[in-house]
Structure 1
Amino acid sequence: MQVTETQNEGLKRGYQITLTADELEQKVQAKLKEAQPDIEMKGFRKGKVPMALLKKQFGPRIMGEAMQESIDGAVTSHLEETGHRPAMQPQMAMSNEDWKEGDDVVVDVSYETLPEIEEIDFSDIEIERLVVKADEASVNEALESLAKNAQSFETKKGKAADGDQVVIDFVGKKDGEAFEGGSAEDYPLTLGSNSFIPGFEEQLVGVKAGDEKSLDITFPEQYQAEHLAGQAVVFDVTVKEVKKPVDAEIDDELAKKFGADDLDALKAQITERLEAEYKGASRSVAKRSLLDALDQRVNFDLPQSLVDAEANQIAHQLWHEDNPDHHGHDHGEIETTEEHVKLAERRVKLGLFLAEIGQKNEIQVSDAEMTQAVMTQARQYPGQERQFFEYVQQNPQMRQQIQAPIFEDKVVDMIFDKSKVTEKEVSKEELQEAVEKLDDE
């Protein structure tokens, strides 16, 4: 087998691999001979089918397998010998498309190599980490929010306002006949909760205990019950009681409702949670500063294939964000702009750099870290956690998607340790402003 270089320009490499007809024939004969002992055919004992008959029967399929295995093996050996790391899967195409049995097989192979990336001195990178302490006002604000969530309702006189609760009996009717699932008694409905069909709660604002009212309602076109979707109905409603919301007292009893021993323990939990949130936001700001610094210091040739793929993905994602009602992929071609390409170049450069630095420093994602990450994502699918675990186990691409950000964060943490990081105490408003700037850039 002969390998001839056809292109060597920048990161682009091209080779022509020639598999002679004799080499291919030897490979086919070897595979047929290997399979012969297990083959049965009418008129012959098992393992005694003549080679000529085997070749006639299985030759075309065996030849295709032999051809593919030979070319794949040649490419693998070539990559091992040269040390090249293709940026993407090598492109392969037969140059003699009119090939017939007895001809040499000539295949053109092309790819872009990953560039050589040198580690830089991280000690001269200066990063400012914002620090926010959970002050008393923030803790009290969180307590008030918890008290509101734990609110109860007490009977009131007069008309129901938005936010009040009405206790009602109702019967839904279509064409004068009650329909299944449209009736209830002593139902507590909080006005403004949007838990009922659009238009239902709004028509009850201003009712009083003892009122009877008919509500004209049209079900949404996308309603889950198909026989009611888009249909006009009437709900006969009897108001039995009107209640006003009463926030819970901020005391030890409230603390116990949220799993704390007493109010002081709840305050400590809130302080810890708030500072963890602040720390996470601060890390995002510091990470962006670090990536900006690396972007300025790191420079190497980028595989154009990776840049093009990333730019297309960015353009596609942004298009769907601008067209949220279009969920499918049956749209026209989405063109990439200079802005998409510039962002893609940054992402590819930093991604390759962090991957290389992580590999050189032998950074790995442990099984425990991976399991924890999968468990965190599985919680997004209540009742289907086991199926999610099985899906991840069977899907290498999904595992890579989960592993990649963990690996990147571990590399970033390593660089933080080697950089000059100073802390600056700021208010939560200043931290929030810094976080918002991340979204604007």
Structure 2
Amino acid sequence: MQVTETLNDGLKRGYTITVTAAELDDKVNEKLAEARPGIEMKGFRKGKVPMALLKKQFGQRLLGEAMQEAVDGAMSKHFDETGDRPALQPEVKMTGEDWKEGDDVVVEMSYEALPEIPEADLKSIKLEKLVVKAAEEDITDALERLAGTAQNYEDRRKGSKAKDGDQVVIDFVGKVDGETFDGGSAEDYPLVLGSDSFIPGFEEQLVGVKAGEEVSVTVTFPQDYGAENLKGKDATFECTVKAVKAPKPAPIDDALAKQFGAEDLEDLKKKVSERLEGEYKGAARAVMKRALLDKLDEMVGFDLPPTLVEAEAKQIAHQLWHEEHPEEKGHEHGEIEPTEEHTKLAERRVRLGLLLAETGRKNEIGVSDSEMTQAILNQARQFPGQEQQFFQFVQQNQQMQQQIRAPLFEDKVVDYIFELAEVSEKEISKDELEKAVEALEDE
């Protein structure tokens, strides 16, 4: 077997791999010898079938396997000896369209090698960690929002008109073509106007009603309504308004705290404070991570594989185009050409991606099976009732696994660098943190 270099230009590499006919024949014979003890054939005892007969019977079938294994072996040996790591899957093609059994196999292999990535002095990096404490007014605002979600309703003044957000208590009887239907009637039904819990158009016709009034509401059932006999049908609901109630936030007290799993109000305040500071910590980490990536981008420079940059630039251009055209849900649009700005951003992403990957590789940083499982379960919770199906889908989809693994790996490498870097803390206000986060989005 012979490997001959044909291209060495920057990171581009090209090689010709030649597997001789004799080597292929030896490999086929080796496979037949391995399988021979278990082969039975009429007229011969098990394991005693002549090699010539086995070769005639199975040789052609094994030849393709032998070719593939020989080429794969040559590639593996080449990468072991040279230390090259291809940026993308090498392109491999067989030469000679008129190849026939007995000829040498000649394969052309080309790829872009990953560059030598210089080590950065990670301990020399200086970073600022923003710290925000939960202010009393922020805790109060959060408690008021919680109280709003646990609100009650109290009767409005007699003669008051119902407003959007009010609760009306109604008796109603619905009819289609003059006939009542299952589920179309109820008594003392509490309906919050604007909640969209009834048929489209129903709640809007009750805005402005008063307690004691009788109102006729006419609506049309949607074409996709659950009951087949009601799809697209016009319906009339005779409604009696028994009460009009205004929303009233629940009082901020021990009872509210217990609704949200706290022992008392002080315990709830503590939990709210911890949650807020957890959110601030996450935002501050994003700011510090950007600062780290900016410093790494300035510290290290090396040649980038053109195909990686091109692929990343196209992905960026495609993503930004869809953000600018949210009405386009599919991918039927024409090709989107990356701009110079897209390419510049792609170069930064590829450079930092390779640097972080190399840092993780050299320091044996990886994502454990348990970390992957937890991440998949976290994402599965976004699909209530379909968690098991989502988990199985990810388990069977290598690309999806990589999409989940990549950010986990990056965060672990970033945390590793944070530990080596010189980090000073700076206490700031929530407003200052929000401005720092907004600055990230503007870049």
- TM-score of the superposition, structure 2-length normalised? 0.90
Question: In 2, Cα distance between the equivalents of 1:176 and 1:338?
Answer: 67
CA separation of 1:237/1:420 partners in 2, compared to 1, >3 Å: closer, same or farther? same
- Structure 2 equivalent of residue 246 of structure 1: 248
One-letter code aligned to 1:318: L
SS of residue paired to 1:339? helix
Cα offset, 1:326, TM superposition:
4.1
Tell whether 2:19 aligns with 1:4. Answer: no
One-letter code aligned to 2:307: S
Deviates more, 1:66-75 or 1:223-232: 223-232
CA separation of 1:152/1:72 partners in 2, compared to 1, >3 Å: closer, same or farther? same
Cα offset, 1:239, TM superposition:
2.6
Map 1:37-186 → 2, pairs under 5 A:
37-41=37-41, 46-156=46-156, 157=158, 158-178=160-180, 182-186=184-188
CA separation of 1:73/1:201 partners in 2, compared to 1, >3 Å: closer, same or farther? same
- Structure 1 equivalent of residue 353 of structure 2: 351
Cα offset, 1:46, TM superposition:
4.2
- Output one character per residue of 1:164-196: Cα deviation in whole Å (capped at 9) or x when no partner: 011234455544455555554433221122333
SS of residue paired to 1:84? coil
CA separation of 1:278/1:35 partners in 2, compared to 1, >3 Å: closer, same or farther? same
- Structure 2 equivalent of residue 300 of structure 1: 302
- Structure 1 equivalent of residue 293 of structure 2: 291
- Structure 2 equivalent of residue 433 of structure 1: 435
Q: What 5-or-longer segments of structure 2 have no aligned partner?
A: none
Question: In 2, Cα distance between the equivalents of 1:294 and 1:226?
Answer: 62
Cα offset, 1:331, TM superposition:
4.0
CA separation of 1:56/1:224 partners in 2, compared to 1, >3 Å: closer, same or farther? farther
One-letter code aligned to 1:425: E
SS of residue paired to 2:31? helix
Map 1:180-219 → 2, pairs under 5 A:
182-219=184-221
How many equivalent residue pairs? 441
- Structure 2 equivalent of residue 36 of structure 1: 36
SS of residue paired to 2:139? helix
Cα offset, 1:77, TM superposition:
0.8
Question: In 2, Cα distance between the equivalents of 1:163 and 1:177?
Answer: 31
Question: In 2, Cα distance between the equivalents of 1:234 and 1:337?
Answer: 58
Percent identity of paired positions between Structure 1 and Structure 2: 68
Cα offset, 1:215, TM superposition:
2.9
SS of residue paired to 2:257? helix
Deviates more, 1:196-205 or 1:144-153: 196-205
Question: In 2, Cα distance between the equivalents of 1:182 and 1:107?
Answer: 74
CA separation of 1:73/1:184 partners in 2, compared to 1, >3 Å: closer, same or farther? farther
CA separation of 1:227/1:252 partners in 2, compared to 1, >3 Å: closer, same or farther? same
Question: In 2, Cα distance between the equivalents of 1:379 and 1:287?
Answer: 27
Question: In 2, Cα distance between the equivalents of 1:178 and 1:62?
Answer: 75
Deviates more, 1:299-308 or 1:115-124: 115-124
- Structure 2 equivalent of residue 275 of structure 1: 277
CA separation of 1:331/1:369 partners in 2, compared to 1, >3 Å: closer, same or farther? same
Question: In 1, Cα distance between the equivalents of 2:312 and 2:229?
Answer: 45
SS of residue paired to 1:301? coil
CA separation of 1:225/1:26 partners in 2, compared to 1, >3 Å: closer, same or farther? farther
One-letter code aligned to 2:118: E
One-letter code aligned to 2:244: V
